[in-house]
Amino acid sequence: MNIVYSILAIVFWALVLISLAGILKWTLEIILSVGIFGIFLILGVNALL
């Protein structure tokens, strides 16, 4: 039974780490796209002013 529990624990933590990595990747992509859009927005406002 201990072997089964340890295998389940390893699988569980692997899934947790994979999901955390995915969340971090999405967060970074959102921050990058918003940041690039914000830079263009600021440049456009400065050009108009």
pLDDT in tens for each of the 49 residues of the chain?
A: 799 999 999 999 999 999 999 999 999 999 999 988 989 989 998 888 8
Position 48 scores a pLDDT of 85
State whether residue 49 is helix, strand or coil: coil
Q: Which residue has the tokens 């999405």?
A: 26
State whether residue 1 is helix, strand or coil: coil
- Helix residue spans in the chain (DSSP H): 2-48
Structurally, how many domains does the chain consist of? 1
pTM of model > 0.85: no
Position 4 scores a pLDDT of 92
For residue 34, is it within any domain?
Answer: yes
For residue 7, is it within any domain?
Answer: no
For residue 14, is it within any domain?
Answer: no
For residue 3, is it within any domain?
Answer: no
Domain around 26: 20-49
* Distance separating alpha carbons of residues 18 and 11, to the nearest angstrom: 11
For residue 24, is it within any domain?
Answer: yes
Amino acid at 26: W
